Amino acid sequence: MRRTFTLAESDDRFLATAARRHVHVVDVPTASEHVWAALTADDALVSWANAVTDVRWHSPRPFGVGTVRTVTLARGVALTERFFRWDEGRRMTFTVDSASIPGLRRFAEDIVVEPAGADTRVTWTFALEGEPALRPILWAGAPVNALVTGSIARGLTRGALAVARRDPR
């Protein structure tokens, strides 16, 4: 069993003020229902985000505030996430409770889904803070983090369009 490190709880203030924030706005050419379905699918992220290798939902459906899942990234880094906001079909926000790597202090994500004409606009905010020893590395790695988080946000288009193709409506 891999060792985990507990992170401090994140909130909306942290999401708005974190020194390491990456905000990505993506217009997805499908209905918001398809986007939400891709975000909440059993294989959410894995089927469309190259950086993610596994997602395990630990809470039963229907998901909501308090839902927990573990997301594993390509290098085997596991993050246990707990949702503190769940506005069905519109917005989900989580704090990372633990990570399998040391040095992170706080990590959170906020995903807003809004109709934009025939498309759906997704605003995906990633916020992280390291312990003092990790902060220079996070600063130096910010361009790489922006690329990775951006690829996750942009990959949602692939997932949502796959859902749309399967939707009989």
| CA–CA dist 67, 60 (Å, integer) | 8
| CA–CA dist 53, 13 (Å, integer) | 30
Sequence ranges of the domains in the chain: 5-166
Q: Tell me if 163 sits within 8 A of 59, measured CB to CB.
A: no
Q: Say how far residue 4 (Cα) sits from the centre of its chain.
A: 19
Which pLDDT value is given to residue 169? 59
Which pLDDT value is given to residue 74? 82
DSSP code for 100: S
| CA–CA dist 112, 87 (Å, integer) | 9
Which pLDDT value is given to residue 168? 61
Residue 18, amino acid: A
Q: Tell me if 31 sits within 8 A of 163, measured CB to CB.
A: no
Which pLDDT value is given to residue 102? 93
- How wide is the angle at C-alpha 38 spanned by C-alphas 56 and 118, nearest 5°? 165
Which pLDDT value is given to residue 44? 93
Which pLDDT value is given to residue 14? 98
Neighbours of 93 (CB within 10 A): 20
* 70-108 pLDDT, tens digit each: 999 988 899 999 999 999 999 999 999 999 999 999 999
What are the average pLDDT values for consecutive 10-residue runs of the chain, which has 169 residues? 90 96 96 96 93 95 97 92 98 98 96 95 97 92 91 92 80
pTM of the model: 0.94
Task: Report the CATH fold assignment for 5-166.
Answer: Alpha-D-Glucose-1,6-Bisphosphate; Chain A, domain 4 (3.30.530)
